[in-house]
Amino acid sequence: MTAPSPTVSARAAELRELLERYNYHYYILDEPLVPDAEYDRLLRELVELETRHPELLVPDSPTQRVGAAPAQAFTSVAHATPMLSLDNAFGDDEVTEFDRRIRTRLDTERTITYAAEPKLDGTAISLVYEQGLLVRAATRGDGTVGEDVTHNARTIRTIPLRMQGNGWPERLEVRGEVFMPKAGFEAMNVRAREAGEKTFVNPRNAAAGSLRQLDPAATAARPLDIFIYSMVDALGLGLTSQFESLQRLREWGFRVCPEGRQVAGPEGCLEFYQQMGEGRDDLPYDIDGVVYKVDELMLQRELGSVSRAPRWAIAHKFPAQEQLTTVEAVEWQVGRTGAVTPVARLDPVFVGGVTVSNATLHNIDELHRKDVRVGDTVIIRRAGDVIPEVVKVVKDRRPARTRRIKLPRKCPVCRSDVIRVEDEAVARCSGGLYCAAQRKEALRHFASRRAMDIEGLGTKLIDQLVDQELVDTPADLYRLTQGQLAELERMAEKSAANLIAAIEKSGETTLPRFLFALGIREVGEATAATLASHMGTLEAIASASIEQLQELPDVGPIVAAHVHAFFQQPHNQEVIAQLRDGGVQWPAIEVAQEAAEKPLAGLTIVITGTLDSMTRDEAKQRLQALGAKVTGSVSKKTSFLVCGADPGSKRQKAEAAEVKILDEKGLDQLLQGDIP
């Protein structure tokens, strides 16, 4: 046999080092550096090198290991029967070849029956029962030695502490997959973001990290679940098939995946694979493929195992939902509501069954939290029809001299100012009346019944007006002619005349309606009425400072910032002037007189959490009736924070700002007109 070249030997050494490092980060640190697909690719490359050059094989090669060594923080547990991993198949031909090898080794031409089941994307666990009671739970570890996680496993409600039914042996070892359902994973990450804590990359990583918490109470707080997929020595218990053993486990109180079934031959396997692939996104848990096991236990024993995997089973992987690629640029898109969103332009990569060249970065906070930069190597995830997203940056592949991405100061579409209000994750273009990206949405809102109430100006007609470049801003509506409208699809002379009449009629409006029609962020009908009644004129509102606006009832810092930013934009001022020149007008308003001094006048109060005695809206109305200003965010100007149950991050902000915090007794005192 020809000795491997120095280049081949060096590549094998490099692969071993890479795979061991990825193992350590995945299993020990719970911080995966690369997606599973990249790990699988490198492992297969090493297997091929060692197969061609057996002299390269060393005892500590990752190909001879199932996982990584157990963490020293847990007691080590030796597995009496090794917890082997499975070989992978990535194409239909590999499944057919697997079946051919089975029949050849068994020297039979008959159709083999397989037990087929989803391959859950979680973490493997061994459970030992004595006299029907759970006595030990252990992780896979390196397949021979794992970690004792019994105290944590006992917190998972779907793991029975005592077996049910009868007929079970004095000692039983079962194996299964601990996983985190999709809904629980999303909810946990939402809570982590709100608390400013680290989020998990995916449910598999979350399950592994949760099972290995040193404090069982922390594990108990995580939404973990389990499916049992095998029992050790089922043949010795008088059972004859894998599928039968799963039914027996169900009778004994174990949770077994309901999707599993018996199939005939490679055709049955591939049909099951297709069905699971089509329904994958509808499952409440993640799967990354399906598993085929020779169903007859006697045949499993006859087939045996190689060093790291059984010959009688194989995992048929789905197209990877995560892949590596590089960020070629970060661009900014403007949505129909003005949201300015960062988008990563990628070196195209095939992931989740499609070629992906763009991925969302959500908002500037998320971009900075993940620290995505141009030139970075990143993990891209695409699940089903979900928009591809950047999951994580592979920091050790970052090129030199990269720069942190900054939020643009000007809208990339209309050059209006980009505004990001404190405590809001989303930045927005402030050119609402002018920005082309927001044009159709702005016109729909402007013409809506509660705004300018232009009867007959619906969505489809607005689309035509914009697409044919007849209307750019709301002011252009008042320049339309009957002839222009009559030429549009599904418009005749009469309907065109009716619309012209409706547009002219809408010009006679009120200041609150007009303010609402402008589509200023956070300005609904009630706020528009407050602005009009207290400021009197559009000019007064447009020239007011943020501080002056905040003095009005129900106008907090966020609303004030949005109003002020809107009227500061020259494009918006120009459109408003054109609207008034086009005939839009309203009667003068008599400014409301200040109410008599009230006991809570001058106080700014924020309410958070769930109140027992009343709803938050009821509390808000009663406090406002006593003269208090009730806002939605905590600042140094906040007088009191009223906290109910589950207050969230506002309590932390209040403590940081040294704002006095009241419970419901303190709220009752305020409602009596007494200031604590």
Active site residues: 119
Angle at 69 between CA 63 and CA 73, to 5 degrees: 165
* Secondary structure of 135-188 as H, E, C letters: EEEEECCCCCEEEECHHHHCCCCCCCCECCCCCCCCEEEEEEEEECCHHHHHHH
Q: Which two tokens stand for residue 558?
A: 């966020």
CA-derived radius of gyration, the chain = 33
Other C-beta atoms closer than 10 Å to the C-beta of 324 total 19
Is the separation of the CB atoms in 402 and 412 below 8 Å?
A: no
Quote the tokens at residue 136. 């030990």
- C-beta separation of 286 from 121 below 8 A: yes
Alpha-carbon span 604 to 550, nearest angstrom: 10
Cβ neighbours of residue 47 under 8 Å, at least 6 residues apart? 63
Tokens of 67: 């996982």
The rounded distance, in Å, linking the Cα atoms of 149 and 445 is 57
> Using CB atoms within 10 A of its CB, is residue 457 exposed (0-12), middle (13-18) or buried (19+)?
buried
Nearest Cα to Cα of residue 122 among 213, 224, 20, 38: 224
Q: Residue 535 corresponds to which amino acid?
A: M
CB 535 within 8 A of CB 510: no
Contact criterion met (CB below 8 Å) for 542 and 578: no
- CA torsion angle 197 199 200 206 (round to 10): 50
Euclidean distance between CA atoms 452 and 532, whole angstroms: 16
User: Could you say which DSSP state residue 410 is in?
Assistant: B
d(CA 232, CA 240): 13
What 3-state DSSP class applies to 670?
helix
SS3 87: coil
* Residue 561: both structure tokens together: 């910032």
Could you give the C-alpha distances from 657 to 193, 601, 628, 634, in angstroms and in order? 20, 22, 20, 8
